[in-house]
Amino acid sequence: MLRNKFLLTLTIAISWMLVKIKFLQRLLPRKILNKLPLGWTDEMYSTVLKSRGKKVYVDIPCQLQQPTSYQPKTAVDPAYQLTEAEIQFFYQNGYIGPFTIVAPEVAEGIKSHLVEMLETESTIYPYSQNAYVIEAKDRATSVDRIRSNYDTSYLAMNYRDRHLDDSQLLDLFKHPALTERCAQLLGPDLMLWRTQFFPKAPSEEGTPLHQASTYLLDNLKEPVVYPPNLNELFQLTCWIALTDATKENGCMVVVKGTNKQIAPLKISKPYDTQKSDDGSKRFGTAKIDVDIEVNSEDVMPIEMKAGQFFIFSERSLHGSLANQTTEWRWAVNGRIVRPDTRLYTEKMLKEGHMYKVVGVKDICLDRWKTVLIRGEDRFGYNQ
């Protein structure tokens, strides 16, 4: 036990030293340099050290500043006007909505189109053209899971950023019902930088509660999102229901009030010891809990009709319920930032990126780009 504690302390100390002393990094082989958590802060190192490796931040610690006023940040079409009370509710609770974006029958048509589109390979991340590498080799589906590790990895990438190769999906995120409300929270200029489909199959388990701000979780080493002020509101996520989302079929849940601070996670059990045929760890089997007390009355299921959406800050603890029905639940989300926010590092853009949670590495970002969905980009930070 003492030996393990000593080795952990030594490893953390060496890592901290190599991150802080920049000139030493020039002496390191690329293989070692690529493993360094260059984006970690002193607080993150301290948390791991004091907890003996039982607690870790998966995003940069920060606290949300309240605005000096809850007035809308820009004038909009009155049809989409938010009141000061609604904006204050958002800042206090971390979410707002639902709102209607399209009629249910329109949502059904969009869903059918997008499901058909998803049967084709993404032109943004084409696996057949070596646009990324899947670490898992197992193709067999475990008896207690919906899909194999390999399929989880492939689908995660094929469901990502399809607004860049499908105009109907992009138009959905350009709808004024969405952009005009986001503008009142973020400001008049908005950029869409990532979309992701979230289907939930019959009998599929829920998603554990988690937080995100700078998306350090992608590779656990460096953030993806670089705002001018980490403690300001700089990003919103819009979650659009393409089918009805209910407590029975796996709607989202948000823990109100948890948007004010990023908390570390407690790791009580590593990945399941049962491994895939190729020896790889099975996704989604680690036992983790956020290191804050969650009151059950604060866990808010966000039920919606097809064609509705809600806006939330991923700083809030959020997740989803299990699908207890025999039907699929379909949704898509979009992440929106102000144009003064930089996305990805130069190294990521040149050498590729990693999506560690689903075992994908060497993601080529040559075809990725941000899309201006409202206002203008006066900074030009992003491709």
Task: Check residue 8 and give its pLDDT.
Answer: 67
Shortest CA distance to 135 belongs to which of 349, 359, 373?
359
Cα 316 to Cα 130, 224, 254, 268, distances in angstroms: 35, 18, 7, 22
Task: Check residue 287 and give its pLDDT.
Answer: 57
**Distance of alpha carbon 296 from alpha carbon 277, whole angstroms:** 39
Structure tokens at 31: 């293989």
Task: Check residue 284 and give its pLDDT.
Answer: 47
**Distance of alpha carbon 119 from alpha carbon 114, whole angstroms:** 9
Domain 67-263+292-374 has CATH 2.60.120.620: yes
- 367 contacts 160 by C-beta, under 8 angstroms: no
**Distance of alpha carbon 112 from alpha carbon 15, whole angstroms:** 49
**Distance of alpha carbon 287 from alpha carbon 208, whole angstroms:** 9
**Distance of alpha carbon 131 from alpha carbon 234, whole angstroms:** 29
pTM comes to 0.91
Task: Check residue 259 and give its pLDDT.
Answer: 95
H or E element in which residue 3 lies: helix 2-20
Consecutive 10-residue averages of pLDDT for the chain (383 residues):
63 80 78 83 91 89 95 96 97 97 96 94 97 83 67 93 96 98 98 96 91 93 95 97 97 96 79 42 55 90 98 96 96 97 95 91 96 97 92
Task: Check residue 233 and give its pLDDT.
Answer: 96
Shortest CA distance to 243 belongs to which of 153, 114, 121?
114
- 211 contacts 290 by C-beta, under 8 angstroms: yes
Task: Check residue 75 and give its pLDDT.
Answer: 95
Shortest CA distance to 302 belongs to which of 358, 249, 236, 341?
249
Task: Check residue 293 and give its pLDDT.
Answer: 85
Strands (E), 270-365: 287-290, 299-302, 308-312, 318-320, 331-337, 342-343, 353-355, 360-363
**Distance of alpha carbon 335 from alpha carbon 314, whole angstroms:** 9
**Distance of alpha carbon 265 from alpha carbon 58, whole angstroms:** 7
Cα 20 to Cα 34, 177, 270, 334, 377, distances in angstroms: 15, 46, 29, 35, 34
Structure tokens at 236: 């919103």
